[in-house]
Copies of this chain bind each other. A is one copy, B any other.
């Protein structure tokens, strides 16, 4: 089964198409691609795209150069491309399902934001994987930046869906249209992920979030 978004005419697959791991001849891989990808994500997220060297990545992934350049001929760029896809799969899909099925999608979004300031937040001080990419990656990697912005727009579309459902259910006072609210929310997302790096005080961050979330009361 395929799951995907169509966004601006581009198809963005969110869930891996199940590959029947057909038994094939040849030496078997010693590593699991998804597990290795998760490690790469961790390194990229912690160090940033540019600061993460091929060496850092290979060590974390636990594979050698031979395996790496076989699996990712495009090197670091291709790895990052796949790592972004992985982050979307692991983080957005779940959120999107929740938005589509929960009782109160507006409250879900509120909790999504308010959960950021807690110390146990999985995102921590690392910021948004895609927002970081937009700021860290050089202009010469325009393709990667474009992908990152497309994925951010996927998040925006999830916000929009939540607002749409919230409106249908009468859970939103705001007169503003869902796309406008979604644009407000993605900007809040982008902002808070930078602001939290300058403002350590989590009470003040929470205050700031509550003030912003007043628009979706």
B191–A50 contact, CB under 8 A? no
- A198 CB contacts on chain B under 8 angstroms: 134, 148-149, 152-153, 186, 190
A204 touches B184 (CB 8 A): no
Summarize A's interface: helix, strand, loop or mixed: helix
Known A-B contacts A190-B194, A191-B188, A191-B192; the reply to A50 vs B207 at CB < 8 A is no
Q: How far is the CB of A175 from chain B (nearest CB, A)?
A: 12
Asked whether any CB of chain B lies closer than 8 Å to the CB of A127, the reply is: yes
- State whether A135 touches B138 (Cβ < 8 A): no
A211 within 8 A of B: yes
Which residues of A163-188 are within 8 A (CB) of B? 176, 180, 183-184, 186-188
Contact of A208 among B47, B153, B183, B212 (CB under 8 A): B183
A residues 140-154 in Cβ contact with B at 8 Å: 145, 148-149, 152-153
What residue in chain B is nearest A51 (Cβ atoms)? B138
A184 touches B197 (CB 8 A): no
Binding site for B on A (CB under 8 A): 46-48, 50-51, 127, 131-132, 134-136, 138-139, 145, 148-149, 152-153, 176, 180, 183-184, 186-195, 197-199, 204, 207-208, 211-212, 215
